[in-house]
Structure 1
Amino acid sequence: MAGNKRIGRRGLLAATAALAAAAVLAPVAAVAAPVTPAAAAATVANPAADPAQAQRSAVVRALESVAQPLRTTEPGGRTADLRALGAMIGDARVVGLGEATHGSHEFFAMKQRLFRYLVEEKGFTTFALETSWSSGLQVEEYVQGGPGDARQVVKDALGGSPWDREEFADLIAWMRSYNRSHPRNPVHFLGDDIGAPRLGDRIFERVASYLREARPDALPQLDGLYAGLRPLDDTMAYLKRPVAERRENAAKARQALDLVTASGAGGDAHAWAVQHARNIADTFDFAALDLADPASVSAAEQLRDRAMADNTAWWERRTGGKVLLSAHNGHTGYLATDTFLYPEPQGSHLRDIYGRDYVAVGFTFDSGSFLTNDGILTDAWKAVTVPPATPEMNEHTLDRVRYRDYYVDLRTAPRAARDWLNVSRPTYEAGSVYLTDPRPQLAIARAYDVLIHLNRVTQARMF
């Protein structure tokens, strides 16, 4: 989610209330500790004496038989190397494209490259991002020709978040330019997340404006329900209020949704007003979590992933356009590294909704740098560099494939590869916060339909 402050979630299960308040922000994961070069060399020096190494060699051969080399992650230029990926996506209505970190240039650049290909070759019309619904509306206004420039829009709508980067300014600038030359078939920007950590007031006003025209007699009741709720500019401060008060406010937001839902007989304006009111209600439901109760935190995260999936599906059905959904691997896939907080990720919900019309694409990388946050700070993003993956990690074997960067359809990979990838192993993964313990583990073949593996990543570009 976007906003002025982003911090991690896993600390919610620890003792400190400050880290617990991080529930509203992006998933984090540990990164495996490095081993010495001597130890790594000893592991592979005599593969004949190491059954695990022999198995890895068989897995590498199996992957090499189906892997498709990736020319580049940078947008623009030739796209012939993406045709096989297009075939893997097929006729899917929604494609979830993950990221192993929230701060790597190559992941962000590849999202624009693939989106442009899908727009031009497969009729996709929407780029959806793991940012708040209200922030997405701000970006959408710019993409459709509204005032401002791309950098300023990113600062205003996504400031302080992992998406407050040059790569996303480049993306929305391209979308705006594309719309100028394709006015009959424009592309759109969607924020599919709930409104924390900053909901603002504009979304409340959109709901009120609808009732002012459609049911002016109901407007006083709506104003009464939203009084004290609008604006929500600082969720971190809001979470310090008593749980009982926050739950009472959540009930008011839900009553407002019911009022708006019952206020019209249908039509486009009514549908949008209901959707805005639903996002407000979901946000206050999420923010009613009990920070001292891990089960409550987990329930809030489950609500969030369900809301993201519902928002994406609502948009796809309302607009009739195909969607590329950008989020952390732990949200776009079917399995997260933290199964307590995320027992059923957004990708799992979307698979329930769409079946084969949803395709989950995950990212892995072997080494490199990315941006992370210290956890409770505002914009304290810093670069972290990790060494090549160690032999017990997923990426160590994946990086032995002869292509520097490549992708593979996990659904049709040879059995030797699928069996190996079905086992949970340590994996490089980081959200907004970088942690070194415990290590995240993931069974890659159970998490994604398609995997893109990169040899090395670099930090995303800050303004």
Structure 2
Amino acid sequence: MTGRVDDDMRALARPLRDAKDLDPLLERIGDARIVAVGEASHGTHEYYAWRAALTRRLIEERGFAFVGVEGDWPDCYRVNRSVRLREGADEDPRDALDAMERWPTWMWANEDVVEFCRWLREFNAGRPEHQRVGFYGLDVYSLWNSMHELIGWLREHEPEHVDRAVQALRCFEPFGEDGAEYAFASRFAPTSCEQAVVGLLHDLVEVHCRKEYAGDPEGRFSAEQNAAVVAAAERYFRAMLLGSVESWNVRDVHMVDTLDRLLENTGGKAVLWEHNTHIGDARATDMAGAGMVNVGQLLRERHGADDVVLVGFGGFQGAVIAGEQWGGQMRPMPVPPARSGSLESMMHAALGEDALFVLPRSGGPEWLSRRLDHRAIGVVYRPERERWGNYVPTVLGERYDAFLYLEDTSPLQPLHLERAEEHVPPLAHAV
């Protein structure tokens, strides 16, 4: 049986040496409007490098309009302004990335993302402003940063809404910008801050619908998005009290809602950069049994399988940047050989080299329908737990449309060590 599986894997595998070897994946993507590209860890150079290589080709050859990442809206909007050469923005995207302060900073403040964003700025420099490719954050954690950004924008552009925004911010002030403290307190205050932030968001959207905005349209969109982040983050922190499943679902629904707003606003096509646990369809894992949904599942449900391509990653061994605990100091860590019987171990035995798999839309070899352990390393990692943790049972042929397998991997190069003043979000899940 093992020999048959090895033969089937080798028959489906394609060489993966340079960006030209992505041709079969580009053919599979075709005219799809959304390409979601994962990573098996948040700290591996090769995942970021291959993801950037694919994204460059999608932008250059298929006209993709923006990149949406598993990052905060305010931080990534500063990067967006830089890569789109907006007036007053950082001339070097590295400065915008190096300014990121929310733990884990290395996810985006690293040399691989700098290299991609510098390339994107250079690419955009030769295009009209309305055709420049954007870079946006989809995540939910930036409640206080988004509120401060929103108030600043309103003071300059729509002062009639400042009082409502300040009122909403004051609702959160007693909790010292601590989401966990707010979540605990909301158990004893049934109205919480929900009414304040929902009312603010309603006011902003209503004004936008009533009149054509004459100022900076993207700046107005960013203000609305910051208000949407505040509303979603408030729900997220309250959901933490109900358990990790509820808060996970609030977060992933918010990320897809943000993507849909960006698609509507730009009228273009999107590349997503997130962890495999968000990108791969949850219904092909044990996440579904726990009541969890994720970005990949929601994309297929909302946009249809033909308009969405999900791309996963996996590696056999190497090293990674991670922390030993939530909020801990990052450091390089060894990634031991994948445990026996796992997807990565089987690919190592059958191939022994990097490979691209473009998975059949239906049918295919039997091993694609098996539930196999598939490694997932989050921002918290302890190699000694490989024997019983760090793996997600996965039906590969249902979870992704394509898969990149890498034999040996190396850690990202962060731009800076964590700073003492960095914000650490409450622990709900570690990917």
Partner in structure 2 of residue 69 of structure 1: 15
Change (3 A) 1:290 1:150: closer
What is the alpha-carbon distance in structure 1 between the residues aligned to residue 3 and residue 200 of structure 2? 59
What is the alpha-carbon distance in structure 2 between the residues aligned to residue 142 and residue 234 of structure 1? 30
Partner in structure 2 of residue 58 of structure 1: 4
Partner in structure 1 of residue 187 of structure 2: 243
The amino acid that maps onto 2:57 is: Y
What is the alpha-carbon distance in structure 2 between the residues aligned to residue 387 and residue 249 of structure 1? 46
Q: Would the aligned equivalents of 2:315 and 2:406 in 1 still touch at CA under 8 Å?
A: yes
Matched, 1:370 2:323: no
What is the alpha-carbon distance in structure 2 between the residues aligned to residue 426 and residue 401 of structure 1? 16
Measure how far apart 1:371 and its partner are: 1.4
What is the alpha-carbon distance in structure 2 between the residues aligned to residue 98 and residue 127 of structure 1? 13
Matched, 1:430 2:368: no
Measure how far apart 1:233 and its partner are: 5.1
Alignment of 1:388-427 (within 5 A): 388-402=337-351, 404-412=353-361, 415-416=364-365, 419-427=366-374
The one of 160, 171, 187 aligned to 2:116: 171
The one of 21, 36, 50 aligned to 1:110: 50
Partner in structure 1 of residue 138 of structure 2: 192
What is the alpha-carbon distance in structure 2 between the residues aligned to residue 429 and residue 450 of structure 1? 17
Q: Would the aligned equivalents of 2:316 and 2:344 in 1 still touch at CA under 8 Å?
A: yes
What is the alpha-carbon distance in structure 1 between the residues aligned to residue 169 and residue 254 of structure 2? 21
What is the alpha-carbon distance in structure 1 between the residues aligned to residue 373 and residue 121 of structure 2? 40
More deviation, 244-253/280-289: 244-253
Identity of paired residues, percent? Answer: 23
CA deviation vs aligned residue, 1:284-338 (integer Å, no higher than 9, x gap)? 11122343x42xx321210110110111121122112211100000111112554
Partner in structure 2 of residue 276 of structure 1: 226
CA deviation vs aligned residue, 1:139-165 (integer Å, no higher than 9, x gap)? 111112212533331121365422221
Partner in structure 1 of residue 20 of structure 2: 80
The amino acid that maps onto 1:286 is: Y
Partner in structure 2 of residue 307 of structure 1: 254
The amino acid that maps onto 2:402 is: V
CA deviation vs aligned residue, 1:120-150 (integer Å, no higher than 9, x gap)? 1111121211001222211111112212533
Partner in structure 2 of residue 203 of structure 1: 150
Measure how far apart 1:279 and its partner are: 1.8
What is the alpha-carbon distance in structure 1 between the residues aligned to residue 191 and residue 348 of structure 2? 48
Q: Size of the alignment, in residue pairs?
A: 393
More deviation, 305-314/174-183: 174-183
What is the alpha-carbon distance in structure 2 between the residues aligned to residue 430 and residue 221 of structure 1? 42
CA deviation vs aligned residue, 1:349-407 (integer Å, no higher than 9, x gap)? 111221121110000111111111122335x1122223322431111222234472121
Partner in structure 2 of residue 42 of structure 1: none
Change (3 A) 1:341 1:457: farther
State the TM-score, normalized to the length of structure 2. Answer: 0.83
Measure how far apart 1:253 and its partner are: 0.9
Q: Would the aligned equivalents of 2:240 and 2:246 in 1 still touch at CA under 8 Å?
A: no
CA deviation vs aligned residue, 1:252-287 (integer Å, no higher than 9, x gap)? 211211222233415455655433322211111112
Change (3 A) 1:207 1:278: farther
Change (3 A) 1:234 1:203: farther
Partner in structure 2 of residue 227 of structure 1: 170
Partner in structure 2 of residue 9 of structure 1: none
What is the alpha-carbon distance in structure 1 between the residues aligned to residue 168 and residue 327 of structure 2? 33
Q: Secondary structure at the match of 2:256?
A: helix
The amino acid that maps onto 2:187 is: V
Q: Secondary structure at the match of 1:359?
A: strand
What is the alpha-carbon distance in structure 1 between the residues aligned to residue 24 and residue 47 of structure 2? 19
More deviation, 312-321/226-235: 226-235
Change (3 A) 1:301 1:204: farther
The amino acid that maps onto 2:61 is: E
State the TM-score, normalized to the length of structure 1. Answer: 0.77
Partner in structure 2 of residue 459 of structure 1: 411
**CA-based RMSD:** 2.7
The amino acid that maps onto 1:324 is: V
The amino acid that maps onto 1:196 is: S
